[in-house]
Structure 1
Amino acid sequence: MAPIRTFIAAPSNLGLKPPAPGVAPGVRHLPEHLQQFSFASRAGAVQTIYLEPPTYHGDIDPETRMRNADAIRGYSIVLAEQVQDTVRAGRQAIVLGGDCSILLGCMLGLRSQGNYGLFFLDGHTDYMWPEHSATGGVAGMDLALVTGNGHEKLTDIHHCRPYVPEQQVFCCGNRVPDESYVQLIRQSQINYYDLDALRRFGLPATAVQFLQLVETRGLDGFWVHLDVDVLHNDLMPCVDSPQPGGLSYAELRSVLLPLLSAPACKGIDITILDPTLDPDGRYASVFVDHLTGILQDAATAVL
């Protein structure tokens, strides 16, 4: 049976540093940018919800050493309630950011419903806390925060820490080669595959292994996080931290299709494409073609 989908626009830019003094990050325009190409309807959404984010300031909270910490906490609660309502209604959520800090609200919403897994597909690990961050941006810490690492203001909302246990997370696609950057995640209990390891093991095989983990642990389902910077920089250069290399669209399809086809998949969040770096929509239009194609095929797949 094809999933009934709800499209949730969550255009928060609260988790990023200012690209220039006095300038707010442009990812806040992502939902309207993709909607130019009929993203929601082509993705099969029957309902559209817009969650207005707080005003961006970029201030670093002295208590947590994170930017916009109080605003992110408040917005995460609002987003969590919407994700919770969507899942409770038996619908699959498509949450379009914004930056990666929206993952907190997504996983908090699931945590209130039961015990879930997370497939984290990103060109970075996002597994660090403020003392390891040069920017104080929550968008670079989201995986650490949802697994309970960091200040309780963002890791223990509603006393739900962790929103997802490390053992129930696959982190895939990182291509930052700095060993000091990956040391933290290598020491964690997260199932970690950098881009090279992901390709060696096989992208479809990695997805299948994750689905087996969900089944053997008896989880209530899982969530998919997609940061578009996991794609090859030639295909998706309009991101805040571009790097050489990355996945092709064929590779993205090979890993996402089995995940999004699984009945246990409760939703996906999509982040980081900055419309101010894609003014004519050339990269967004191609991205929408590929991702909505995957979502359409996932809706009709028989597993």
Structure 2
Amino acid sequence: MRTVHLIEAPSNLGLQELIPGVPPAVDRLPGWLQQWGFYDLLSPRHVHSVSPPPYAREVDPVGVRNADAISHYSQQLGACITQVITQPGFAVVLGGDCSILLGIALGLKAAGTYGLFFLDGHTDYATPERSATGGAAGMDLALVTGSGPAKLSNLDGQSPYIQPRHAWSVGNRDADEADVAALQASPIQYVDLAALRQQGPAAWAAAFLTDMAQQQLDGFWIHFDVDVLADELMPAVDSPQPGGLTYTELTALLLPLLHSGHAVGLDITILDPSLDPTGAITRRFVEALSPLMAALACE
């Protein structure tokens, strides 16, 4: 049975406020998932918590909201990730928003050379110039692969934390043409929702595993932004959009990756408890993830 290391990373620093003067509530996600039984699925041997600095509204001169706080927090989270990832087991990181990926990737870089399976309903490949919000949560894929302000993309002089050719962007259905064009022009493997469905989730999972094996990496990380799910299943997100994956498709995509033995960790981001006041959405989410979390125990 595989040891699960659970890391709480309740940062909301990478988002713009949905309501002026009210900080985003994604920082409540770890406690919310625990309330609805997710921790019971994992039975973690260790629970670590990395607390972020307070949320602020300022946009840094580099064009990113809370840039200094995110930089500091990413280094703290990165140190925790490195400590955990060098031990036997599997790491599960609960955000928070997608900017936690910076700390995760920084920690992975210190431990070896890792791939990234980036599962997200958006490209998250914006730059400060193309971003409408200045939120790092919309730039995280670009930042971890070496694009964007050095204050965030080159922490500790380690840019890129993930080599672009080692990253796959999967499941996007964002219509932002500029971000999509920039991503397609990069070495990152791009599989949008339409392509994912055309060939099928299991086929793309197999292709990713083959690619990772050919590149002889130390393993790979799975980033799971819940807004990749169908809007009717997961409306409790800050940037909802029509369409998205079903839970059946999600399972078909992730189960082979978890069974491969080469995935070293998974992060879950963006589910906003304030947008699910009854817990019905989260309860269904936890139930749907049960077979995926059970796969961890089999490794």
In the alignment, is residue 10 of structure 1 matched against residue 9 of structure 2? yes
Distance 2:91 2:41 in 1: 14
Contact 1:261 1:299 in 2 (8 A): no
Partner residue in 1 for 2:29: 30
The 1:213/1:44 distance shift into structure 2, 3 A limit, reads: farther
Q: Which moved more, 1:252-261 or 1:286-295?
A: 286-295
Q: Which moved more, 1:145-154 or 1:40-49?
A: 40-49
Please, what TM-score do these two structures have when normalized by structure 1?
0.96
1:86-113 deviations in Å (ceiling 9; x for gaps) = 1111221100000000000111100001
> What runs of 5+ residues in structure 1 fail to find an aligned partner?
none
Match of 1:214 among 180, 199, 212: 212
Distance 2:259 2:71 in 1: 31
Q: Which moved more, 1:30-39 or 1:138-147?
A: 30-39
Aligned residue-pair number: 299
Contact 2:11 2:27 in 1 (8 A): yes
Distance 1:297 1:169 in 2: 23
In the alignment, is residue 264 of structure 1 matched against residue 262 of structure 2? yes
1:229-265 deviations in Å (ceiling 9; x for gaps) = 0000000000000001100000000011111122211
> What runs of 5+ residues in structure 2 fail to find an aligned partner?
none
Contact 1:7 1:48 in 2 (8 A): yes
Contact 2:258 2:295 in 1 (8 A): no
Distance 2:53 2:174 in 1: 31
Distance 1:85 1:30 in 2: 23
Write the letter of the residue equivalent to 2:218.
Answer: D
Report the CA distance between 1:298 and its aligned residue.
Answer: 4.1
Partner residue in 1 for 2:52: 53
Report the CA distance between 1:293 and its aligned residue.
Answer: 2.5
Distance 2:294 2:13 in 1: 31
Partner residue in 1 for 2:169: 171
Match of 2:96 among 95, 98, 105: 98
Distance 2:133 2:177 in 1: 19
Write the letter of the residue equivalent to 1:29.
Answer: R
Name the Cα RMSD after superposition: 1.1
Distance 2:237 2:227 in 1: 6
Partner residue in 1 for 2:71: 73
Contact 1:44 1:296 in 2 (8 A): no
Write the letter of the residue equivalent to 2:193.
Answer: L
Which aligned runs of 4 or more in structure 1 are off by greater than 3 angstroms? Answer: none
Report the CA distance between 1:181 and its aligned residue.
Answer: 3.4
Distance 1:241 1:68 in 2: 19
Q: Which moved more, 1:286-295 or 1:167-176?
A: 286-295
Partner residue in 2 for 1:283: 281
Contact 1:119 1:224 in 2 (8 A): yes
Counting aligned pairs with the same residue, the percent is 50
Q: Residue 66 of structure 1: SS of its match in structure 2?
A: coil
Partner residue in 1 for 2:239: 241
Please, what TM-score do these two structures have when normalized by structure 2?
0.98
Distance 1:131 1:295 in 2: 39
Q: Residue 45 of structure 2: SS of its match in structure 1?
A: strand
Q: Residue 216 of structure 2: SS of its match in structure 1?
A: coil
Partner residue in 1 for 2:199: 201
Write the letter of the residue equivalent to 2:19.
Answer: A
Report the CA distance between 1:149 and its aligned residue.
Answer: 0.1
Report the CA distance between 1:37 and its aligned residue.
Answer: 1.8
Contact 2:2 2:296 in 1 (8 A): no
Contact 1:110 1:116 in 2 (8 A): yes
Contact 1:186 1:192 in 2 (8 A): yes
The 1:79/1:284 distance shift into structure 2, 3 A limit, reads: same
Report the CA distance between 1:201 and its aligned residue.
Answer: 1.8
Report the CA distance between 1:291 and its aligned residue.
Answer: 1.4
Report the CA distance between 1:173 and its aligned residue.
Answer: 0.7
